[in-house]
């Protein structure tokens, strides 16, 4: 069973300025959470990571919004792929 998921800004780097070298990461615990709670936690983590990655952008608010959306999407896709490979699914509550 997948117990935690590391959210990184690798997706962010594809969306925002390529000059950003450092990638931040946040680990999201999955144990005992519903699908909705996991998605909310991933979005919260994406907001934290994107805040630090886009704060020096010229159009920071726009870059932040794009970053959160893209990072959340990629993280959810990576989680679904990891679950499929592990043969597990999230229990709907």
pLDDT tens, the chain, 93 aa long: 455 555 554 444 444 443 343 457 778 888 888 889 989 998 998 888 888 888 777 888 888 998 899 989 988 888 888 888 877 665 443
Under 8 Å between Cβ of 24 and 49: yes
The CA-based diameter of the chain, rounded to the nearest angstrom, is 43
| CA 5 – CA 16 distance, rounded (Å) | 22
- Dihedral, CA of residue 42, residue 43, residue 49 and residue 52, to nearest 10: -170
Q: What is the pLDDT of residue 90?
A: 58
Q: What is the pLDDT of residue 40?
A: 92
pTM: 0.66
């Amino acid at each position: 069973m997948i117990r935690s998921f590391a959210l990184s800004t690798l997706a962010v780097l594809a969306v925002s300025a390529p000059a950003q070298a450092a990638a931040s990461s946040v680990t999201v615990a999955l144990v005992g959470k519903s699908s909705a709670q996991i998605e909310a936690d991933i979005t919260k983590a994406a907001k934290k990571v994107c805040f630090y990655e886009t704060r020096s952008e010229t159009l920071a608010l726009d870059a932040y919004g794009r970053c959160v959306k893209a990072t959340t999407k990629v993280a959810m896709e990576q989680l679904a792929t990891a679950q499929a490979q592990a043969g597990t699914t999230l229990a709907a509550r």
